[in-house]
Every structure is written in C-alpha cells, then in structure tokens.
Amino acid sequence: MAELSRLPAGYRALADRAGSVRRKLERSGIDVTTIVIPTGTVKPAAAPSAAPAQPAPRPGTAKPGISFATQIAPVLVKSCGGCHVAGQRGNFQMASYEGLMRSGMVQRGAGNSSRLVEVILTGDMPRGGGKVSAADVATLVKWIDAGATCDSDPTVGLDAVARSGAAAAAAPPDPGPAAKPVPLRAGDVSFATEVAPLLIAQCLDCHGERNPEANLRMATLDGLMRGGRSGPVVVPGRGADSQVVKKLRGIGIEGQRMPLNRDPLSDAEVAMLVKWIDQGAKLDLLTGKEPLETVAAAGRARSLSNAELAAIRTAAGGKLWRRAIPDEEPVVCGREGVCLIGSLAQPRLEALAGEAAEVEARVRKELAVGDGPLIRGGVVLYPFERSFDYSAVWQTLVGMERPKGISGHAATNGDVVYGALLLPSADADEAGDAIRLLLAEQIAAAAFSGRGAPDWFCRGAGRAVAPRVAPRAPAVKEWRRDLGAAVRQVGTAQDFLAARADPAVATLVAGGFLGAIGTPARLAQMVKALDGGETFEDAFVRVFKAEPRQAYETWAARQARSP
C-alpha cells in the first residue's frame, strides 16, 4: 500500500478481519503464503512551517475547544459504556481517560485514523443496534485531531465524569508521593514477602486494576493506601481500626465479610496484617507504584542465588507463554543471561539464543554491570516470526490490542523479566542488524524493568542503548527522522510520563529523550543506584540533576526549536 497522510477509515478493521481469515486457513493446513495483507504506511507528519505546535494542555486545565468532561465522556458512556466502560468486552476497557489512552484506540492528531473512530464508522461498534450520531462522531474526530486532551481528573471513572459534567473539569488532586521502601527492623512484618502474597491470593480477583469492586484498587500498595469509594481502608498505625481489617474480620461493617464467597482468613493471617499496619504500613522493596506481583517476586528473589532465580524465571516464563498461546507447546533454549521461549524451529531458536547471549554481554558492557549477569536470574525472551502470535502475547500481558508500529516490548510480570520481539522476515535486507537492534533494545529495557524503573524509562533506555550495539540497522535512521513529529504528537510531559500517548509514538519519544540525556555513564550510574536500593525518583534526580518532568520539558522545548 502506498504511503498516505492518514489511513482511510475502516482500513484496520478490514485488515484485521482478513488477517483472522488467513490465520484460520493456515491452521487448517491450507497454504496461505500467496495471500498478502498489505500493511498501511502513514507518512510522518510534516513539520509546521510556522511556529512549533504547542503541547497539549495538562489534564485539569481549562482551554477553549471541545471538553472531554462535558462532550466526549458522555458520548463514550452512552454508546460504549455497557461493554467497555463498566466491562472489558473484547479485552478493551476505557474505564477512565487514562485507560482509554493506554488502550491504543486513540491516535492523537489523527481522528479518522484512530481505531475508536474506525469501529464506529464501519458499523462494527456499538453492537446491539445502537448508533452514534454523525454530530457526535464529528465531535469525537475533532477532539482527537486537536490532541485528545483531558480537562478532568484522568484517573476518575468515565461514568462519574459523564455524570458530573462541568464539575469534573477541575484540576486532579495531588495523589502525593509514591510509597518508598524503608529498612525493616528485627521483628517487622515484610510487605514484600508476607503481606503482598496474601493480598494477591485473597483480594485481587475483585480488587485488581481493571473494574475493581467499590473502586478499590489493591493491585499496588499506592492503590491500597488511596482506598476506594468509601474512603481509605488502611490507617497507618491503627490496624484494628482500619477498614480492610474490619472487612476481613466481618465485625462492625456494612455489607459482607471479605474475601467474598471464600473461607475467612486465619487469625494468624489477620494478626500479621494488623501488625504490618500498626508498624506504619511500611514498604520494604521497590515502590508503591509497582504491581503486587512484582513486589512479591522481588521479595522471593532477594534470598535466591542467580541459578535458583533463573530456574524460577524460566518456569514462570513458560506459564506466561501458555496463558497467551495455550495450544502450542514452546521450545525453550537457555544461554548465559538469557532464556528464549518460542515456537521457532529448534535450530533457529538455538542460533538466535547464541546471538542474544552475545548481545546481552554487549549491553552488560554498555551499562558497566561487570562480570555478573545483566540482571539476576536473566532475561526471558519471546521471539516471534508470526505477527498474530506476538499480538496474542501482547494482548495477554499488556491487556489491550497491540497498536500499530510495535515490534517489541519489555516488562516485568511477577517472577519474569521478559522481552518480546517480532523478528523481521528471514529474507529481509540487513535482517541481521535489525535483529541485533531488536534484541539489544528489549534486553536493555528489561534490565531496567527488572530494577523497578518506570515503563517510559525502560523503553527510552532500550532505544538509547540499542543503536550503540547495532548502529547500521535501518531503523536507527528512521527513529531519528520521525522523532520531531512524534514529540509534537505525544502531548505534555505529564501525558508522556503517565503513558497516555500511543505506545509506538511514546517509545520513539522516550528513545530520543534518553538518547539525548542518557549517556552510557549516566545509564550505568542508574543501574548502580537501583542495585544499591535507591528509589528510581531519587536516583534520577541525583544522576540527571532534575526531576523527570523538568528534564523532559527542557528537552522537548529544545526539540521544538530544532528545524
């Protein structure tokens, strides 16, 4: 398909359906090699000839134009609320503005090309006979074209925003600093090794990140401490008076005992939770923003050897594979510092594992880690030759449809520090350099993810390190070429740091940002600081002499002045 300024409405929906038919034919044993589904290519936005575009306003600031709170949220709730606000039909949920922007369904500055608009224009959504009026569609397109900004608290549920209307267009409350780890004294209860595993086992089915009961999100410590619809549930220093303890005991409460429809917790388990709260509800590893599974995994890992942790990560990595692709048994191939799990032929996987081990050693050198592993227990890599397999893993682990332009990502999921990558076709020009670039990017990003760095920093560090490992890869020039347009599209510093932008665009911007300020020496200092127990926020300020938001705004302003 020729390059277009924007993809025609309905293109992606049609391509997805064609791809689904192709996959069904392939799984039935039919030769589909001659069936080619064209990939739409969109030209980078041209740089403005006049003054550079102004960044989108921060959420909560009033600005003339279309209001998310009073015009967009009511349309979304009315037309999509039953399936995608209150629920997560098709693994897509937009319970809040943040959830909508994380989903990849909205592409800032490109209303007609955004998937949200496409599924409406093609009639695919809303289902059940409902319709979105032409006027509402036009308003939605105009809002996205103008930057898809938010004039309300981006974390508040869309149903609440739609009900309150103009009253919701107020600056979001300051959530306060994230919980930071403190040293434990003898006899203290460990949140990482005792409390977090208990909450995971007993509470997250109803109070996870998606559609939590009573709006009480217990997937992170910060979420637990914020409380839910009825207010705080933990009062540090007062365990017996905390609502979470009362609900577990079933004494002095409205409603039912928790956990709902399960056996009550033992007296010893409740006493342990009370003691932890009485001690101040302290965190002893990572930060309050980290998922409980990650905190609990870090608690398990601190007492294990590298070999023991590697065995746990390999086993957990296999379980993640089976969650995403349950009908295909993977091939596993381990090397020093890496473990590859995939459906590639054994010789192909072994050759790739050898190359991954070489790249891991090179990344280790770039980050001045020393003779030990880049990260204890190693990195689990999921390489894919088929895009639909990679999409299945992305949707399972990230929780949304894979956006266009994403060919690799790295993250931490419980005991697994992983990188997933879609390999270029074997006969592609300079495929070797392209593969090394992908491997270096995901391995470096995984190294920081396993150390508790936020997603934007992991992606940026991966993009900053990769060109030093594979400088001749064609994508390196493309990243530099497209950076200016991406910075204009990503929105404000707050949008960037909170991961509200399109993932492909945000990754490109993160790479440019960290590539500009993150010299090898500075990235190595970050590794050393995080390994020494320093929080990411404190380490960043010490190494880069500014808070992340300040550093980004300074860099983005320089980019805006560049030709």
Cross-sheet strand order for the sheet of 331-335: 331-335, 338-342, 379-384, 416-422, 408-413
**How many angstroms separate the CA atoms of 500 and 249, rounded?**
39
Structure tokens at 387: 């895009």
Cα 308 to its chain centre, rounded Å, is 28
Question: Where exactly does CATH 1.10.390 map onto the chain?
Answer: 295-561
Three-state secondary structure call for residue 324: helix
pLDDT at position 427? 53
CB-based burial of residue 342 (10 Å sphere; 0-12 exposed, 13-18 middle, 19+ buried)? buried
In eight-state DSSP terms, residue 46 is: P
pLDDT at position 43? 43
* CA atoms within a 13 Å half-sphere pointing along the CA-CB vector of 332: 16
pLDDT at position 491? 84
What are the residues facing 338 on neighbouring strands? 335, 379
Three-state secondary structure call for residue 493: helix
Three-state secondary structure call for residue 157: strand
Structure tokens at 283: 């965190």
In the chain, which stretches have pLDDT less than 50? Answer: 1-7, 9-10, 13, 39-63, 166, 168-177
Tokens 């091939």 locate to: 331
Alpha-carbon distance values, 352 to 139, 332, 348, 358, 374 (Å): 49, 12, 6, 10, 18
Alpha-carbon distance values, 22 to 1, 13, 36 (Å): 18, 14, 9
pTM: 0.68
**How many angstroms separate the CA atoms of 309 and 474, rounded?**
36
Alpha helices in 59-195 (DSSP H): 73-80, 97-102, 115-121, 134-145, 158-164
Q: What are phi and psi of 4, to 5 degrees?
A: -125, 160
Question: In this structure, how many other beta carbons lie within 10 angstroms of the beta carbon of residue 165?
Answer: 15
pLDDT at position 396? 84
Cis peptide before 126, with omega less than 30 degrees from 0?
yes
**How many angstroms separate the CA atoms of 414 and 165, rounded?**
39
pLDDT at position 90? 67
Tokens 């905390």 locate to: 242
Nearest Cα to Cα of residue 333 among 361, 354, 309: 354
**CATH classification (class only), 295-561:** mainly alpha
Cα 185 to its chain centre, rounded Å, is 34
pLDDT in tens, 263-322: 999 999 999 999 999 999 999 988 888 889 989 998 988 889 999 999 999 999 999 999
pLDDT in tens, 56-74: 444 444 345 788 888 898 8
Residues 6+ apart with CB under 8 A from 113: 6, 7, 9, 42, 107
